[in-house]
Amino acid sequence: MLMKKIEYPFALNVVKDLKAGQRISLSGRIVTARDRVHKYLFEGNKCPVDLRDGAVYHCGPVMLQKEGKWHVCAAGPTTSMRQEPYTPRIIEQYRVRVIIGKGGMGEGTRKACVKYGCIYLQTVGGAATWIAQKIENVTGVHLYKEFGYAEALWEIIVKDLEAVVAIDVNGRSIHKKVQALSRRNLKHILG
């Protein structure tokens, strides 16, 4: 299957035909958010940026400010399952179309992806400096006074960030397939 290129804004017509297991290349504006920003939004606080048709990347980037400009040193994904309690409501409330992270997400997120037309992308863990090279520009930082720079909401512009569709808008999940196969294999091994 060829790699599909998608660009911001990630409207429903951009994500609806992507299939679980498909490789994609993503470009344009995305925001980073980790545990504290997710909890903050979940609790009803106002988001400082518009997330509609946007992408939320589960990442706490390592940043360096030089001559008044932010530079990304590392931007690897964090474990997405930690955001599971908050993600379904954030998808619903803000109409986020793309979640990017590492590892699987839970049933609540899978159901929200189906109901609201969102996809979950998995990117490479352990490749923080390689991913940082895909970031062309930092256009804003929000909530850093409240949460610190690692947990802040960063607005970044990426070019050709590669990922795999882990959950598609139809609810197909590569993780569910792997779990089912693992259970069958374990049952066979144990007899």
Catalytic residues: 38
Judged by DSSP in three states, 179 sits in helix
Contact 75, 59 (CB under 8 A): yes
Q: How far is CA 112 from the centre of its chain?
A: 14
| Residue 67, Ramachandran bin (φ over 0: left; ψ between -120 and 50: alpha; else beta) | left
- Give the CA-trace dihedral at 35, 107, 155, 136, to 10 degrees: 120
DSSP, collapsed to helix, strand or coil, labels residue 49 as coil
- CA distances (Å), origin 188, targets 178, 183, 184: 15, 9, 6
Signed CA dihedral, 110, 115, 116, 118: sign only? positive
